[in-house]
Amino acid sequence: MTAAALTADDAGPLAFFKALHDAYSQTLERFRGNPRLIDAVLSQAFDSFEGNVALQSEGQPEIACHKGCATCCTLRVSATSPEVLLIARFMRAARPALARMGIDLEQRVFDADKITRGLDEAARVKLRRRCPFIEKGACLIYAVRPLACRGHASLDVRACVDAAAGRADSVPYSEPHMVVRSLVQNAMQSALRDAGYAWDTQELNHALSMALRDDLEPAWTAGADPLAAATIADEIGAAEMARTFDAIKAA
Ligand code: SF4
């Protein structure tokens, strides 16, 4: 069974998590030692997210997000190690095309990291600095954007504008996007952990700055945690998450 075929409706969230976990585990086992490991596990994650969000969003209010709107792209972005490494690879491959457009995306990430490193979520909101990937209102890494960005879908563009300007504290977000993102990402992290890979989340600017300076894929695929310095410290800790994963699998 492929992960994309699973639905939270069919099985309930916990069973959905377990089924996703098992599907990821099979992929991680099949691609162990294969240079396509990261592509395989993230294709599975992104397909599972898109397919299940579409199912869960049926009959729900329409999403206000649209191409050219990057109002919310000032928030802190978290990403798992494979997501960071895939984006770094994508950026290296896109370097010549971006250079022809006069864009030095790597320098933009380094510059952003100098300003955002170590800031918590509240400080990032206050800073109102746009993500380094925004170009003319669009995301330059849209095809490989992290699950955190995929799961952030607004129902009210006016509320986004007000929140970005500091005039409102909250934005109505799509519940299916948030729930499916959590299940898809956490099941992947749980499977990575069981397979012996680093599975925590990192702050995107900091982690990418590290991954762009050195090729960290060999270390990560060998079971090391080369992006550990960029781990977000003010969110739920790894020990608590690991306990939750184990409790779900045992339920
Ligand atoms: S990576 Fe793309 S979608 Fe995510 S915050 Fe940055 S510009 Fe927005």
CA–CA dist 87, 38 (Å, integer)? 11
Residue 222's φ and ψ, nearest 5 degrees, are -85, 0
Structural domains counted in the chain: 1
pLDDT at 4 over 80: no
Ligand 1 pocket, residue 148 CB under 6 Å: no
Range of the domain at 178: 3-250
CA–centroid distance, 229 to ligand 1, in Å, is 22
Q: For residue 151, give the nearest of 77, 209, 67, 238 by alpha carbon.
A: 77
H/E element, 201:
strand 201-203
pLDDT at 11: 53
How far from chain centre, in Å, is Cα 226? 18
Q: Whose CA is nearest to atom 6 of ligand 1?
A: 131
CA–centroid distance, 77 to ligand 1, in Å, is 8
Q: Give SS3 for 79.
A: strand
Q: Which is higher by pLDDT, 59 or 90?
A: 90
Q: What is the atom index within ligand 1 of the atom nearest the CA of 204?
A: 1
Ligand 1 pocket, residue 76 CB under 6 Å: no
Pocket test for ligand 1, best of 77, 84, 150 (most atoms within 8 A of CB): 77
Sorting pLDDT into bands at 50, 70 and 90, what band is 162?
confident
Angle between helices 238-250 and 175-194 (to 10 degrees): 90
Ligand 1 pocket, residue 241 CB under 6 Å: no
Q: How many CB atoms lie within 10 A of CB 241?
A: 18
Pure H helices in 6-140? 8-11, 13-30, 37-56, 81-100, 105-116, 121-127
pLDDT at 155: 80
pLDDT at 169 over 80: no
pLDDT at 65: 75
CA–CA dist 169, 121 (Å, integer)? 13
pLDDT at 2: 28
Query: Each residue of 189-219: pLDDT tens digit?
Result: 999 999 999 999 999 999 999 999 999 999 9
Query: Each residue of 126-148: pLDDT tens digit?
Result: 888 889 999 988 899 999 999 99
pLDDT at 28 over 60: yes
Ligand 1 pocket, residue 147 CB under 6 Å: no
- With pLDDT > 90 as the criterion, what percentage of the chain qualifies? 65
